[in-house]
Structure 1
Amino acid sequence: MLQWYIEDAGGGCRSFPEVLVLVCENPQLIYQSFLPLTWDNKLSLEEIARQKVVEMMQQAGVTRDDYLYVCSGNIFFGLHKWLTENGYHWETVKMDGLAHEVAEQTFQQQIISAGFPADIRLEERNYRDFYRQVDSWIKEDPARFKYLKDAKVRCKPERLRYILKGNSGSARTCCKCRKKILPYSPIVQYRFREVGKKKSHYYHPDCSPVKPHKNKLQQANIDWQGEVLHGVILSARETLPCQICHQEVPAGSKAVHARRDKDFIFGHPECFKYVNQDG
């Protein structure tokens, strides 16, 4: 059994092809692919990326006995679904190590080959500043516009902008029925841009105009002091003590979030007793 890592680079840059890599560290095997700047068919960015990665997997001879660690980025959402449907063993991880290094170095090399200053490099994953410098360099010379990506074909179809998830600790207003969406309850988020600014609309699941394409919802129906509470499992925003075992739940860890009137219920998912738990 081999362990493979799938990573990308350059997705946040407005120019130059995204780099996709498939890497095995032991033995060291490296496969690379580039997304085109544009394409003519109606496939989404995620579908194009899936095709490219599957081609690399076929070249590498990846089998269902192998294990794949895949970047959690949206560019691989179609791949995540394909791996599950086709019986592969995989999980998402925050990518580091050889795969990350190869992807970033390959992206850097392609822009240097186009004439970008070699002394300007990505530092400490500060992508925003680095890509701004690449944008500025492109704008200096109209002849460099040929490196710009086609933003139109990379736009998500409307149906992909709806996400089913758990609401945070703030009540929100449903854009359809105008009633409150309670804290720590299921919510559909529609993400879009308006005059260049990121915005969101929120809906009760039953009020959503389309069935959400992505499901991040983890519900937690818990028995709390003899009462059934309907909460959700979210990443903890700050380190807080579990209300069952009183041990700390580190920030970023998955935790049960629920409310009973004004009381906030919080703790390790494994510490609670569940009642017909979903998700």
Structure 2
Amino acid sequence: MRTWYIEDAGGGCRAFSEVLVLVSEKPREVYTSLVPLTWQTGQTLEEVVLELVLEMMSRAGVTKEDQILVCSGNIFNDLHKYLQENQYNWSTARMEGLAHEIAEQVFFEQIVNAGFPAYIKLTSRNYREFYQLVEKWVLENKSRLRYLKDRRVRQKPIGNKYCYKANRSRPRHCSKCHSSILPYTPMVECRMNVHGKKVHRYYHPECSPVKPLKNKLVTIETTLNGQPTCGVVTKSNREERCTLCQKSIPAGQPAFFCYNNDQLLSFHLSCLSIMNTPAEA
């Protein structure tokens, strides 16, 4: 069994390709790849990265028995899902050794080969300051603009900003129809930045302007008083009382909530299970 490290560099810089590396320390074996500055396939950045890493893994002969340590950065989100779904022996890790050194070295060589002053170097992982110097150098000359990343293809689909989830104990107002979203009912939450400020907007699921790509909504179908009922599982912001056992449901504890004739009912998940267990003959 071998241990492989997967790391990236340059993702926080508006210019030059992100560097991807696949490294084994013992025995030493190094594979590198550059993410294109742009592409026309309609893929997300994470999908492009996944393809490039899988190609490196194929060249290296990585097996499911090998240990794979991957940087936790968002750029590897699709890779994380792939490794999990395909039952690889993997985990996320903070990169400190050879993989990190090589990724930074390859990124630095890339910008120096383009003409960036070699004496200006990254120190103490001060990425923001270093990347600002690189970006300033690129923007000083129109001929260097070709080194800028295509931010359009790297933008996440707008659906990523929207998420199915359950409203909690406070009512909210739908940003489209302006009517109330009842506590403990399904809704869509949108998180975005507007003029540098974080803004949250809320919608009834049928009022959402786009189909969310994220889903944190958990629903359960049950029977109450002989009638089929659907409710949500979520945490309350305040203490509630279980309709079945009349005991407290502490704030922050997951519970089942539903409505019956406009009356809100709440249940411990354990009580819901007991209620749905068929009686013995």
Which TM class, normalised by the smaller chain length? Answer: 0.5 to 0.7
Deviation, structure 1 residue 214: 4.5
Name the SS for the 2:250 alignment partner.
strand
Structure 1 residue 207 displacement after superposition: 7.5
- Give the Cα separation in 2 of the matches to 1:215 and 1:93: 26
Change (3 A) 1:86 1:120: same
Alpha-carbon distance between aligned partners in 2 of 1:122 and 1:215, rounded to the nearest angstrom: 39
Aligned residue number for residue 230 of structure 2 = none
Change beyond 3 A, Cα 1:88–1:181: farther
RMSD of aligned C-alpha atoms?
3.7
- Whether 1:89 and 2:89 are equivalent positions in the alignment is yes
- Verify: 1:32 aligned to 2:32, yes or no: yes
Aligned to 2:200: 201
Report matched runs for 1:1-279 at 5 Å. Answer: 1-162=1-162, 175=175, 190-195=190-195, 197=196, 199-203=198-202, 209=208, 212-214=212-214, 227-229=248-250, 231=252
Distance in 1 (CA, whole Å) between partners of 2:37 and 2:88 is 30
Amino acid at match of 1:138: V
Q: How many residues align?
A: 232
Distance 2:171 2:22 in 1: 42
> 8 Å contact 1:217–1:232 — kept in the other structure?
no
Q: Structure 1's 4 and 212: CA in aligned 2 closer, same or farther, altered over 3 A?
A: farther
> C-alpha distance in 1, partners of 2:217/2:21?
29
Q: Separation in 2 of the partners of 1:121 and 1:11?
A: 17
Partner of 1:266: none
**Residue identity in the other structure for 1:227:** S
SS in 1 for 2:119: coil
In the alignment, structure 1 segments of 5+ residues that lack a partner are 234-273
Report the CA distance shift for 1:63/1:112 in structure 2 as closer, same or farther (over 3 A): same
The answer to whether the Cα contact below 8 Å between 2:171 and 2:180 also exists between their aligned partners in 1 is: no
CA 1:198/1:164 → structure 2, altered by over 3 Å: closer, same or farther?
A: farther
**Cα contact 2:69–2:93 (8 A) shared by 1:** yes
Distance 1:140 1:221, change over 3 A: closer
Give the number of the structure whose alpha-carbon radius of gyration is greater: 2
What is the TM-score with the length of structure 1 in the denominator?
Answer: 0.68
Residue type at the aligned position of 2:59: Q
Q: TM-score, normalised by structure 2?
A: 0.68
Measure the CA separation in 2 of the matches of 1:14 and 1:41: 21
CA distance in 1: counterparts of 2:253 and 2:55, whole angstroms: 38
User: Aligned pair in 2 of structure 1 residues 99, 158: CA closer, same or farther (>3 Å)?
Assistant: same
* Partners of 2:91 and 2:182 in 1: CA distance: 31
**What displacement does 1:125 show?**
2.2
CA contact (8 A) 1:190 1:202 kept: yes
Q: Percentage identity across aligned positions? A: 49
Distance 1:75 1:68, change over 3 A: same
Deviations 1:123-159 (A, max 9, x none): 2222221111111101111111111111111111112
SS, match of residue 14 in structure 1: coil
Give the 3 Å change call, closer, same or farther, for CA 51–128 of structure 1 in structure 2. same
Deviates more, 1:24-33 or 1:103-112: 24-33
Q: Distance in 2 between matches of 1:119 and 1:174?
A: 55
Q: CA deviation at 1:160?
A: 2.4
